[in-house]
């Protein structure tokens, strides 16, 4: 209820109680209550006064509860988060992704990446190379390892010695970054592989490094 109704209930209840106690002949808030009230009228006034005061208290509690109620918490939409899911340097165990990436064994799509350009923002490392184009295997390194820049975001690593889901040697490890939120200007090791990658924060170019 409105606050004015609460105040009115208190005032009316107080006036009625005063009538019950004093039987009239008093002033309150500039108004004069003249005359005398009989015993029955004083009893009725007392009962009504108590009722109105109790009603005022109950109204005040209701208003206090409404003010303190924060309402329902807003729901959080995961799909609206630009960084969800976050990029990961740990390969995700999704066999369907690996099956869609071309197997580099027996093909001629290995290329050697150019050396790191001088004007990049990644810390210089000896043996670093530029992963210049997406969806091409760069390698081979070490025991035949290779790395690919995923055109949809992130990287793929080819490990010819890792057992794949079919029980045969040769497995592709995906490191997805669909929202292009990979940390910039820092060499990040790709877990379960010998590769580290760095994404230039200015140009967006990707560079690789193989730890022998």
Mean pLDDT of 7-25: 72
What are the tens digits of pLDDT across the range 79-112?
434 444 456 666 654 333 334 455 665 455 678 8
| CB distance 41 to 24 below 8 Å | no
Summarised one tens digit per residue, pLDDT across range 139-179 is 889 888 999 999 999 999 999 999 988 888 889 999 999 99
pLDDT of residue 174: 93
Phi, psi of 85 (to 5 degrees): -80, 155
Q: For strand 137-141 and strand 110-111, is the pairing parallel, antiparallel, or unpaired?
A: parallel
For the cut 50, the answer to whether the pLDDT of residue 192 exceeds it is yes
Helix (H/G/I), strand (E/B), else coil: 208: strand
Residue 177: the pLDDT is 93
Q: Give every CB contact of residue 18 below 8 A, 6+ residues apart in sequence.
A: 26, 28, 33, 49
The residue ranges of every structural domain in the chain are 3-68, 86-210
The answer to whether residues 62 and 2 touch, using CB atoms and an 8 Å cutoff, is no
């Amino acid at each position: 209820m409105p606050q004015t109704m609460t105040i009115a209930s208190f005032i009316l209840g107080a006036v009625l109680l005063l009538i019950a106690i004093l039987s009239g002949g008093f002033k309150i808030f500039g108004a004069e209550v003249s005359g005398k009230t009989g015993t029955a009228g004083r009893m009725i006034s007392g009962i009504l006064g108590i009722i109105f005061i109790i009603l005022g208290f109950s109204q005040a509690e209701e208003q206090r509860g409404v003010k303190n109620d924060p309402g329902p918490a807003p729901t959080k939409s995961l799909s609206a988060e630009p960084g969800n899911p976050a990029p990961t340097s740990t390969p995700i165990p999704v066999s369907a992704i690996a099956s869609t990436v071309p197997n580099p064994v027996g093909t001629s799509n290995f290329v050697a990446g150019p050396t790191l350009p001088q004007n990049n923002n990644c810390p210089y490392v000896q043996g670093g190379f530029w992963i210049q184009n997406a969806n091409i295997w760069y390698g081979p390194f070490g025991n035949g390892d290779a790395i690919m820049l995923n055109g949809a975001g992130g990287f793929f690593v080819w490990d010819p010695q890792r057992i794949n889901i079919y029980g045969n040697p040769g497995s592709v490890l995906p490191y997805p970054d669909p929202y292009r939120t990979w940390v910039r200007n820092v060499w990040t090791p790709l877990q379960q592989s010998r590769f580290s990658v760095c994404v230039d924060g200015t140009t967006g170019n990707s560079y690789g490094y193989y730890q022998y």
